[in-house]
Structure 1
């Protein structure tokens, strides 16, 4: 029997929101706001609603998809038409908000203006003029502060200077984000499988937790954790390498194995 209390939507929502605190921190630090994020979620909710309807063997009508996903019927219709045309969901004719700071930088680059603009000027192109071309609802100073926070521009006396560095992603940082995403995805997939599974095999998904500890004890546990990880990860890596060599070239060798360990401490 399904162990997740599906009939308690509020309970499940609260659990997800606990995770969202950390994901939202990641988004905001990266310059992704609420409107952009919720717009990006639409096709994900659409696809998950389709999967659920398939699981319960119910016809994927527009009404059924809309009811399950919470999406407006016109959005569901647009997604269905896009899929029927063989296109990606991201190509659906749905109005998606773009953040004002992003649009300001996009317009700046598209116009080919110089990299340094006066914040305000009555006679030449200025940052204030640029912002007002994009939106009259956002104060230019607020937009500037956000772009400075993201490291996209700097302010030099009365001028706003566009930084080229942020447009060239750091490969090491991109790889670190990909690794984190892959690890978190696998962890969530294992945990949700265990919650949803019906009398089948479960994945290893356990943690040890100890509280009321001093900083000295935390340091001891931290060091021991690293020692154990180094010892056992090498053993498992050796076995994984052997199995990869044995399975290489087999047509049924299509699966991926991931084993992860994490450590965290705090008050």
Structure 2
């Protein structure tokens, strides 16, 4: 009886946490006119892909029947989803990935940044052996014309042209302000990897992945603004430092022909203010 009560309590706590996780997602879905029915097919695909990738039996081929058993999805739907291929990156995903790589190099490589990780202004093309924006783009990809990347970044306000004709990065991070599809790409990467950390820690894998946060209530708006300003400064400094180190280690590992792992490091600051008038009415 005691074991049954503990199990029910665990299920209740899990359900409560799951609702908290789902609410922001549902808010995004409703705000973009995606109904419950509309998201069902996406949820089916995710269930099938996770079951296939992470819940196979040792030395046995994963079958449609087993995936159906694990997920509760009809075997015919499982077969259809498994036969469909959606792994090819879309144009926006490739564009976002290229932008993130360019930003990482600009903020870490000594040719393109100073010792503090501040991006140096770059001329469009190489002058007197000084690295240029063209060099930067071609160092990451030979498939994209530097002029096209520059035009796109100018349009999004990521860079600007200085009075002496140099290209100046406006933000210390690749955050496309006007390109909704690219924002979605980065949102998916960030949220997916954070949830993967949570999932790993809930499974009690050892060693646990780092996942820490602080929570405070009853703060004035001035205090929240002060905390946000300081947090942005300190977290950005850490991200720049880690970006430089990761870039150096990546070059080192590639030379030794042993790259096999990947990391994702992020930082966030959430804030919310109560509607005092609404609270008073209640």
For Structure 1 versus Structure 2, the TM-score category normalised by the shorter chain is 0.5 to 0.7
Per the alignment, residue 17 of structure 2 pairs with: 15
Taking the TM superposition and a 5 Å limit, the aligned residue runs for 1:1-267 are 8-9=10-11, 11-51=13-53, 53-54=55-56, 60=62, 64-79=66-81, 82=83, 87-88=84-85, 172-198=179-205, 200-266=206-272, 267=274
Per the alignment, residue 139 of structure 1 pairs with: none
- Unpaired runs of 5+ in structure 1? 91-169
Contact 1:218 1:265 in 2 (8 A): yes
Tell me the C-alpha RMSD between the 2 structures. 3.1
Distance 1:174 1:237 in 2: 24
How many corresponding residue pairs?
178
Contact 1:6 1:12 in 2 (8 A): no
Secondary structure at the aligned position of 2:56 is classed as: helix
Distance 2:270 2:71 in 1: 34
Secondary structure at the aligned position of 1:45 is classed as: helix
TM-score by length of 2: 0.54
Distance 1:69 1:248 in 2: 40
Distance 2:180 2:74 in 1: 37
Per the alignment, residue 164 of structure 1 pairs with: none
- Unpaired runs of 5+ in structure 2? 1-6, 88-176, 275-282
Bigger relative contact order, structure 1 or 2 (CA pairs below 8 A, ≥6 apart) = 1
Contact 1:193 1:202 in 2 (8 A): yes
Q: Report deviation, 1:232.
A: 2.1
**Bigger Cα Rg:** 1
